[in-house]
Amino acid sequence: MSQSQWKQMFLGAVCLALAAAIWGGVYVVSKVVLEVIPPFTLLILRFCIALVVLGAFTVARKERVAKKDYPLLMVIAFVGVTISIAAQFLGTKLSTAHMGALITSASPAFIAIFAVWILKERIHFKQAMGILLATIGVIIVIGVPDQADAQSSLAGNLILFVAAISWGLYTVLSKKATQRYSSLLVTTYVALFGIIFTSPLMFWELSVTSVSWQFGWDIWAGVLYIGMISTAGAFYLWNKGFELIPAGSGAGFFFVQPIVGAFLGWLLLHEHLGVGFFAGGAFIFLGVALSTLRTRESAKKKRETTVEHPLPHYNEKQG
């Protein structure tokens, strides 16, 4: 593998790991903010802030989107924001946070499936085994559902499953869009169309929910963090990461999220971490390493083949 290819792989891995880590950490912040701001309203606030941040950079770079590609960006926003994130909020509300974390962790499997279907990528054995190992790690970290989880709403669990599927589709469609445009431009339009499509849910929510807007500085600081860091920053990093590496190889980085979320829960909220956390974390990192190893091996074989056979085979009979 050439130095430029190694650099691209490394940068993509760093972007995906950072995005997943930010999303893992935001649960600590949102747990406080959601006590006073309802979920769909917070969703609109976070994407409005993200749009201001991302839009400023996009305008400065003077990037434009062709009219024929607007439908694709609209679909990406509708699937990723209006369906996936809204389903995650609603499903967790109807079910439990424990089941929400467990079910939505199925997203990497759907990323791999959609990558084969839409991007025509090949998912190799090591990549599949990497996703499987990481999934086992998540189950170990989160734990097996107890009796309280057994009483979770079936409708809530099904909605969470929709969130996992739609996030996989969002990721692959975003990668398709970044083959034509920069990650910054794609993320900016996702924020814009996401606000447009999700606003009706916010208006409905505010019509049935009483909200006092006299918040303390800590709540507004949390809103800014969620909007600027976990939305503008993390969404851009996620799309940028998949712009640089294959979707099948990058899917496993999603599993960094529960590890960071559990660690920060222990550090800041004094939640207990048992042996399962460290055992599950080992499975997750092993799975991520295995899924990305296949990409490096494929690139190396491709390079060796190119060096050994730089020109098409010459047939003397044809000469």
Each residue's pLDDT tens digit, 24-49: 777 678 777 888 888 889 899 999 99
Greater pLDDT, 142 or 237: 237
Greater pLDDT, 122 or 225: 225
Would you give the DSSP letter of residue 310? -
Rounded-to-10 torsion of CA 8, 10, 15, 17: 150
Q: Which of 7-21, 69-83, 105-119, 298-312 has the highest mean pLDDT?
A: 69-83
Under the banding of pLDDT at 50, 70 and 90, the label for residue 100 is low
What pLDDT is stored for residue 309 in this prediction?
A: 47
Mean pLDDT for the stretch of residues 263-277: 70
Q: Environment class of residue 290 by beta-carbon count within 10 Å: exposed (0-12), middle (13-18) or buried (19+)?
A: buried
Under the banding of pLDDT at 50, 70 and 90, the label for residue 152 is low
Question: In Å, what is the CA distance from 207 to each residue of 85, 200, 310?
Answer: 21, 11, 67
In the three-class reduction of DSSP (H, G, I as helix; E, B as strand; rest coil), residue 292 is classed as: helix
What pLDDT is stored for residue 263 in this prediction?
A: 77
The Cα diameter of the chain in Å comes to 86
pTM (predicted TM-score): 0.75
Does 68 score more than 50 pLDDT?
Answer: yes
Structural tokens at position 281: 């974390």
Lowest-confidence pick of 100-104, 151-155, 216-220, 298-302: 298-302
Does 218 score more than 70 pLDDT?
Answer: yes
Question: In Å, what is the CA distance from 79 to each residue of 169, 190, 279, 306?
Answer: 7, 10, 34, 40
Mean pLDDT for the stretch of residues 226-243: 91
What pLDDT is stored for residue 182 in this prediction?
A: 92
**Sequence-ordered list of residues with C-beta below 8 angstroms from that of 108, at least 6 positions apart, any chain:** 131, 134, 135, 168, 251, 252, 254, 255
Q: What are phi and psi of 66, to 5 degrees?
A: -70, 145
Does 204 score more than 70 pLDDT?
Answer: yes
Distance, CA of 219 to CA of 32 (rounded, Å): 8
Does 127 score more than 50 pLDDT?
Answer: yes
Would you give the DSSP letter of residue 35? T
Under the banding of pLDDT at 50, 70 and 90, the label for residue 154 is confident
Q: Which of 39-53, 142-156, 262-276 has the highest mean pLDDT?
A: 39-53
Mean pLDDT for the stretch of residues 193-211: 92
Distance, CA of 79 to CA of 69 (rounded, Å): 16
Distance, CA of 84 to CA of 76 (rounded, Å): 11
What is the percent of the chain where pLDDT is above 70?
Answer: 76
What pLDDT is stored for residue 15 in this prediction?
A: 93
Does 280 score more than 80 pLDDT?
Answer: no
Average pLDDT in the chain? 79
Q: Environment class of residue 186 by beta-carbon count within 10 Å: exposed (0-12), middle (13-18) or buried (19+)?
A: buried
Distance, CA of 92 to CA of 8 (rounded, Å): 36
Lowest-confidence pick of 146-160, 259-273, 289-303: 289-303
Mean pLDDT for the stretch of residues 93-107: 66
Mean pLDDT for the stretch of residues 42-65: 91
Q: What are phi and psi of 121, to 5 degrees?
A: -80, 155
Under the banding of pLDDT at 50, 70 and 90, the label for residue 194 is very high
Under the banding of pLDDT at 50, 70 and 90, the label for residue 273 is low
